[in-house]
Amino acid sequence: MHLLNERVLKTVEKSGLDYFHFTEHEQSGNGFGNRFSNAIQRVFKKGYQQVICIGNDTPQLQGAHIRTAVDSLNQGIAINGPSLDGGFYLMGIHASQFDAKCFESLPWQTGKLASSYLQLLHNGNVQVGSLEHLIDLDSLGDVEQLLQGKDQRGLLVQLILSTLVHTRTIQSYRVREISSISFEIPLNKGSPVSIAA
């Protein structure tokens, strides 16, 4: 997970936008929705009027997704980056469109999150744009699905090599035994980065 966080942070840093990284230690509140909502409110309280939240488990995220989100928000249009599992990897919203209580009550960490979030915005007469669907990594099946995509094997190799460089430890890896990767501990589904657009 550390590697995915680093990759997202590098992508965000290249955007040149102000950003805030909320680790689990910096989050406050009860339950995922409450912690997520509190993080967004903290950014709005700093005086920013637009926020883009990006998940930490979508290795396909590119700077182009962030630029499109910024353009959308600058036109007064909220933005959603849906993931294939029914959640989202990116959301962008104006302070005037954000209702903390309704946001907290969304069905977080379920396959109904994106559709419920879009319904919430539509009920508030908020215009919403959409980015392409991407895979977020929650299970071994997600990794296998990612590997089936065009040019995604190179991405995985890059992630593995980057891990080796960061740990500076030589370890034995059995590339053919990908099923030996353990996903028993749930990955930190969330939004470690809020960008003030």
Q: What is the mean pLDDT of the chain?
A: 75
Task: Check residue 194 and give its pLDDT.
Answer: 63
SS (HEC) of 119-168: HHHHHCCCCEEECCCECCCCCHHHHHHHHHCCCHHHHHHHHHHHHHHHHC
Residue 143 has pLDDT above 70, yes or no: no
Q: What is the DSSP string of 93-128?
A: EEGGG--HHHHHTS-TTSTTHHHHHHHHHHHTT--E
- Yes or no: say if 193 and 27 are a contact pair by the CB < 8 Å rule: no
Residue 187 has pLDDT above 50, yes or no: no
Give tens-digit pLDDT for 78-114: 999 998 888 888 999 999 999 999 999 999 988 899 9
Residue 40 has pLDDT above 60, yes or no: yes
**Domains contained in the chain, CATH given:** 2-136+187-196 (3.90.550.10), 140-180 (no CATH)
d(CA 44, CA 21): 14
H or E, element range at 53: strand 50-54
- Cα–Cα distances (Å) from 189 to 86, 136, 147, in that order, read 13, 9, 20
> How many CB atoms within 10 Å of residue 157?
11
Q: Which residue has the tokens 């995509």?
A: 149
**What is the maximum alpha-carbon separation in the chain?**
55
- For 18, phi then psi, to 5°, come to -65, 145
- Yes or no: say if 82 and 75 are a contact pair by the CB < 8 Å rule: no
Strand 18-21 relative to strand 193-196, pairing: antiparallel
Task: Work out the average pLDDT over 62-66.
Answer: 90
- Cα–Cα distances (Å) from 9 to 83, 109, 173, 175, in that order, read 19, 22, 26, 27
To the nearest 5 percent, what fractions of the chain are helix, strand and coil?
Answer: 45, 15, 40
